[in-house]
Amino acid sequence: MKKIGVFSFLILLTGSLFAQLDEGKKMLNYERFQSAAKIFQSMLDKNPNDIEAAYWMGQTYIQNTDDVDTAAAKALYQKTLQANPNNPLLMVGVGEIELMEGKTQDARSHFEAALAATKKKDLPRIQLAVGLANVDVKAGDATYAVSVLKQAIDRDKKNPDLFMTLGDAYRKLIDGGNATTAYQDALTLDPQAARASFMIGRIYETQGITQEPIYMRFYSDAIREDPNYAPVYYWLYQYYYKRDVNKARDYLNKYVSVTDNNSKLCYAEASLLFVSNMYQQTIDKANACIAGTVGEKPFPNLFGLKAYAYDKLGDTAQSRANFIEFFEKVNPDNVGPTDYATFGKLLLLYPDKSDKADELISKAVAMDTIKQKKIEYLTDAAKSMFAKKKYAEAGKWYTRVLYQDTGFGKVDLYWAGYSNFLASRYVTADSIFSIYENKYPDDLLGWYLGAISKSGIDSTGAQGLAKPDYQKIIEIGNTISNKDSIKDRLLPAYQYMIAYFAQINKNMDSANYYNNQILVIDPANETALKNKVQFDNYFKQVNAGKAKKEDQKK
């Protein structure tokens, strides 16, 4: 009887430990990292040699992308591995750390060694860990993960976690079709696998706003399948953040009700003040969030939020200081292209930081997948410099827009060329306006801009570089009946021709002709009237001289 009693106690104890482990993994799936860590730490307190608890505790350090603690995970895995040499699960953990450190060959060696050291019946569990490591870490090999996970599925076709991770691996490979299939297979095995529906929705969302009914249906499915799945609420809060502040607040409240209380929640509340244009209140709330943080590091985005708020208030110094702190504290994987672009545009205001600004904005452009956003980053930088009358810098950024958008139009060409013109970079301006002229041959503005750029190159007019462009303006102008509508283009063209023929070509007849053309469209033009008097006197003298020579011949 005693033996039976001890055996029953061991079964109960083992069952309790498994229940704790499953609960900890569930909290990790919910991204409730504090709750997960408490559970796994409790298990380790009871048994420091608990391999499963040690592995999953390390995962809480790694998967918490808001505050990744690679050092803590590494120390835990190495310590536990020393007590359990060649344990496959811990070897995979060490390999994951090596991936995070960029030691990809060492990591692969540990993964392969772990798989080789695993008994066949335990192989799918270790293969899952290898798949997770290569999916979660940026340097991981998603193709390798797919291969290993498929082998695991061949042995265990009823484990939804295998299909879920396979979906993640395909998603990392930007293979939405196979990822969706894998997530749907996970749902078939576990109808409450809310994360699978959530991730399918994420895939459809990347296809644009036209897919909104589809991805919103999957997000609703995730909530229905598991109302406690916190990530979907936070995602919807972010989705509505700039679209509908009331909906954003509703989803934030739902998120608060099912997640751990931490400074990330405080950040979300502060961000709603920002989107409501309450910038000083945003700063005050963010400061309170940072000051009230206990037992954890403040959520890094609080500093970024302050930087954006100060930027809106025009406080460049404070915005810059908070951006610097944000970039120092945040996980680089959590920095978006808008963060790089906004900080870069701010640094453009500091002459000694222009190289850094260029680096950040270029990174934003390379990072964003939406062409219009890429153009927006470059255009914002250009506008900022133009407003400060830093025309050479503005011209550089506007010109980069042309390289980014091969379908550029008149406006893009105008600002790129005009900024360079104002910076006295006449050759560059002329090359841009030449594109304008070729693309829009009937547009007087293009020929006018080309003409003034060539006049910048040929400041004395001795080479007559602007003459063809001004001739084109006159040619087009002759086809337009309403001359008043184009007077501002015709007058400079005629004036140039007068100067060219009078001073360079020494053809007074042509010069006089163009002066008379001015008087046709602007009879009261004072300069042209004065010129007429001079031309009339000139021709009188010429005619008088001719008459005198004729008389002398007689």
Question: Token match 């048994």: residue?
Answer: 47
* pLDDT at residue 378 is higher than 60: yes
* Banded pLDDT at 504 (limits 50, 70, 90): very high
* Banded pLDDT at 8 (limits 50, 70, 90): very low
- Over residues 184-208, mean pLDDT: 95
pLDDT tens sequence across 482-497: 988 999 999 999 999 9
- Over residues 124-131, mean pLDDT: 96
How large a percentage of the chain has pLDDT more than 70?
A: 96
Asked if 420 contacts 429 with a C-beta cutoff of 8 angstroms, the reply is yes
- Over residues 469-479, mean pLDDT: 95
Q: Greater confidence, 215 or 8?
A: 215
Q: What is the mean pLDDT of the chain?
A: 92
Nearest to 511 by CA among 539, 485, 487, 484: 539
pLDDT tens sequence across 272-295: 999 899 999 999 999 999 998 877
Q: What burial letters (b/e) apply to 431-443, b meaning 16+ CB within 10 Å?
A: ebbbbbbeeeeee
* Banded pLDDT at 257 (limits 50, 70, 90): very high
pTM more than 0.85: no
* pLDDT at residue 439 is higher than 90: yes
359 CB-near residues (< 8 Å, 6+ apart): 344
Query: What is the pLDDT, as a whole number, of residue 554?
Result: 58
- Over residues 371-392, mean pLDDT: 93
- Over residues 326-335, mean pLDDT: 91
* Banded pLDDT at 250 (limits 50, 70, 90): very high
Reported as half-sphere exposure (CB side, CA atoms, 13 A), residue 537 has a value of 6
pLDDT tens sequence across 146-157: 999 999 999 999
Range with lowest mean pLDDT among 240-244, 405-409, 463-467: 405-409
Query: What is the pLDDT, as a whole number, of residue 333?
Result: 85
How large a percentage of the chain has pLDDT more than 90?
A: 83
Query: What is the pLDDT, as a whole number, of residue 9?
Result: 42
DSSP 94-133: HHHHHHHTT-HHHHHHHHHHHHHTS-GGGHHHHHHHHHHH
* pLDDT at residue 1 is higher than 50: no
Q: Greater confidence, 351 or 188?
A: 188
Query: What is the pLDDT, as a whole number, of residue 547?
Result: 72
* Banded pLDDT at 296 (limits 50, 70, 90): confident
Query: What is the pLDDT, as a whole number, of residue 17?
Result: 63
* pLDDT at residue 429 is higher than 70: yes
* pLDDT at residue 111 is higher than 50: yes
Query: 372 exposed, middle or buried (CB, 10 Å; 0-12, 13-18, 19+)?
Result: exposed
Structure tokens at 285: 């709330």
Alpha-carbon Rg of the chain, whole angstroms?
A: 36
* pLDDT at residue 219 is higher than 90: yes
- What's the one-letter identity of residue 115? L
Q: Greater confidence, 1 or 515?
A: 515
- Over residues 322-338, mean pLDDT: 93
The whole-angstrom separation of Cα 117 and Cα 343 is 49
* Banded pLDDT at 553 (limits 50, 70, 90): low
The whole-angstrom separation of Cα 198 and Cα 281 is 33
- Over residues 8-29, mean pLDDT: 72
* Banded pLDDT at 12 (limits 50, 70, 90): very low
* pLDDT at residue 252 is higher than 50: yes
pLDDT tens sequence across 49-88: 999 999 999 999 999 888 888 999 999 999 999 999 989 9
